[in-house]
Amino acid sequence: MRRQRSRTHSRLLPWLFAGVGLLMALRPAASAVDPPPARPPIILFISDDHGYEDAGFAGAKVVRTPNLDALAKESLRFTHAFCNTPNCVPSRAVLNTGLMPARNGAHPNHSKINAGIKTLPVYMQELGYRTVLAGKDHVWPRSAYPYVFLKKQDRQYEKIDSVLAAHVRPGAPPLFLVVATDNPHVPWTKIEGYDPNAVDLPPFLVDTDVTRRVRAEYYTDVTDMDKTLGECLKSMKKYGYDQTAFFLYTTDNGPQWPHGKWNLYDQGIRVPMLVRWPGHVKPGTTDALLPLVDVLPTLLDLTGGKIPAGLDGRSFLPLLKGQRAAHRDTVYTTYTADTRYGAFNYYPIRSLRTRQYKYILNLEPERTYTTHITNANPEDGRDYWLTWLEKAKTDPKAAQVVRAYQHRPAEELYDLKADPYELTNVATDPTNRAIVAQFRRAMETWLEEQNDQDGLTRFFFNVKHKAKTSD
């Protein structure tokens, strides 16, 4: 019997609060300054485990996302946005600190940032904003994140009308609101309006009846998230925020499919991102490389705040204003573990991505790669893996997918122009020797800059030492 989960048409904003008075009673920090009238309201809408391809505006033919599609027409769409680490808590910590996991301390999942690290809500309060987080609240420790956290109640969701209404009165301080859904995170438990036989199956998935059923469940959850976004946009329009607010949509990491979450393939790190700011950001599309670590300095830049020295992030406000077309040449990503579930989710990886190439460093290649997926639990809708193992007994293609997912070499290199789904590792191709050497040097330099001692140690023994020996 599959475990059922009580849900409304959206799993967003599970909160309980004592009324608008609670929000109005929250005073800015003592160090806050009076915000100038031009300082805009800021609303971040963060979905949970949403694939960058899984939206109509991104070219998806089956999954339905009408509200995202409408928003995309009014926004600057980023086709090459990336999270810096593909698991929930570390990714949100990066966005909230402007620092990579090795420097903010939240490297394994379900971990806390280091003491003394300044976070986005602190910066916003110092600029006169009132800071509210509605929905998924995976940021720790709480003392470092002075949000008003809207609480859960029986998994029923309140409207955000009252939150937005409280901040449109004359003289009210500007609002910094984070709307964080908990879908399309697993478990996926229902199918509404989707035919499993008609879903899209990218080439890193094994085609089985169970895979198709679960894919339809995932699509249903994506559509549920989109409905929540629609409610948010409707409330914003009601109070005029659609004309005044800086609105950013993104997700924390890719979906919980093989090649997705917990992996540094694009399915895990590439995320959808839309920015709407009428009168300031021209709608359109950009292919600039943009990591989530850059969100914090950008918000400080557009609100007149001072960007502190020493951040890993950099402002992309000039890109938003059309003052330049490019932003970064390289995006670095990292993954270590999910401590809540013990060793089976431990598989440390580092990577760098350029416009054309992905270089992946598997720090413990002797390990068999295992995750929630390979330790399939039928109750969570991930039981398709069991059908993959069965099919792999007789189907060579399925066997190759399973083998490549669980057993990885120390180094991987992908030509993303020729191989966008990262199916063919070309790291050992003699014609790529110079490229691999270049990326090794860049990775070593970055690990040193990050003071990533675990990464440096394993890099030396698994890659650098072996490369010198072979020479």
Single pTM value for the model: 0.90
State the pLDDT confidence band at 110, using cuts at 50, 70 and 90: confident
From 311, 328, 345, the end of a domain falls on: 328
Do residues 345 and 257 share a domain? no
What radius of gyration do the chain's Cα atoms show?
A: 22
Do residues 446 and 427 share a domain? yes
From 328, 353, 384, the end of a domain falls on: 328
CATH number (domain holding residue 424)? 3.30.1120.10
- If one compares 35 and 179, the residue with the highest pLDDT of the two is 179
Could you tell me if residue 191 is inside a domain? yes
Answer whether residue 213 shows pLDDT above 90. yes
Do residues 172 and 245 share a domain? yes
- If one compares 239 and 21, the residue with the highest pLDDT of the two is 239
**Is 275:247 a contact under the CB 8 Å cutoff?**
yes
Could you tell me if residue 4 is inside a domain? no
Do residues 320 and 423 share a domain? no
**Is 377:186 a contact under the CB 8 Å cutoff?**
no
Could you tell me if residue 292 is inside a domain? yes
Do residues 70 and 46 share a domain? yes
**Is 241:43 a contact under the CB 8 Å cutoff?**
yes
Joined together, the tokens standing for residue 22 give 């609670």
> If you average pLDDT over residues 431-436, what whole number do you get?
98
Q: What is the pLDDT of residue 445?
A: 96
DSSP letter at 109 equals B
Could you tell me if residue 63 is inside a domain? yes
Do residues 229 and 94 share a domain? yes
CA of 326: how far to CAs of 71, 280, 295, in Å?
23, 18, 16
Joined together, the tokens standing for residue 141 give 């420790």
> If you average pLDDT over residues 103-110, what whole number do you get?
88
What gap in Å lies between CA 339 and CA 244, rounded to an integer?
41
Could you tell me if residue 6 is inside a domain? no
> If you average pLDDT over residues 43-58, what whole number do you get?
97
Do residues 361 and 323 share a domain? no
Interior CA angle at 26 toward 22 and 28, to 5°? 165
CATH number (domain holding residue 247)? 3.40.720.10
Q: Where is average pLDDT lowest: 13-17, 142-146, 353-357, 458-462?
A: 13-17
Do residues 361 and 380 share a domain? yes
H or E, element range at 271? strand 270-276
What gap in Å lies between CA 171 and CA 37, rounded to an integer?
9
Do residues 239 and 324 share a domain? yes
Could you tell me if residue 179 is inside a domain? yes
Q: What is the pLDDT of residue 34?
A: 43
> If you average pLDDT over residues 68-73, what whole number do you get?
98
Do residues 299 and 413 share a domain? no
Average pLDDT, the chain: 88
Do residues 127 and 175 share a domain? yes
H or E, element range at 450? helix 433-450
- If one compares 172 and 121, the residue with the highest pLDDT of the two is 121
What gap in Å lies between CA 107 and CA 87, rounded to an integer?
9
Answer whether residue 24 shows pLDDT above 50. no
Give the number of other Cβ atoms within 10 Å of residue 202's Cβ: 16
Kindly provide the b/e burial profile for residues 155-191, where b requires at least 16 CB atoms within 10 angstroms of the residue's own CB: eebbebeebbebbeeeeebbbbbbbbbbbbbbbbbeb
Could you tell me if residue 15 is inside a domain? no
From 328, 359, 394, the end of a domain falls on: 328
Answer whether residue 332 shows pLDDT above 60. yes
Could you tell me if residue 1 is inside a domain? no
Looking at the chain, the whole-number percentage of residues with pLDDT higher than 90 is 74
Looking at the chain, the whole-number percentage of residues with pLDDT higher than 70 is 86
Non-local CB neighbours of 25 within 8 Å, separated by 6+ positions? none
Q: What is the pLDDT of residue 298?
A: 98
Our count of domains for the chain comes to 2
Domain extent, residue 264, equals 20-328
Do residues 74 and 203 share a domain? yes
Nearest CA to 426 out of 364, 360, 376 is that of 360
Residue-wise pLDDT tens digits, 217-239? 999 999 999 999 999 999 999 99
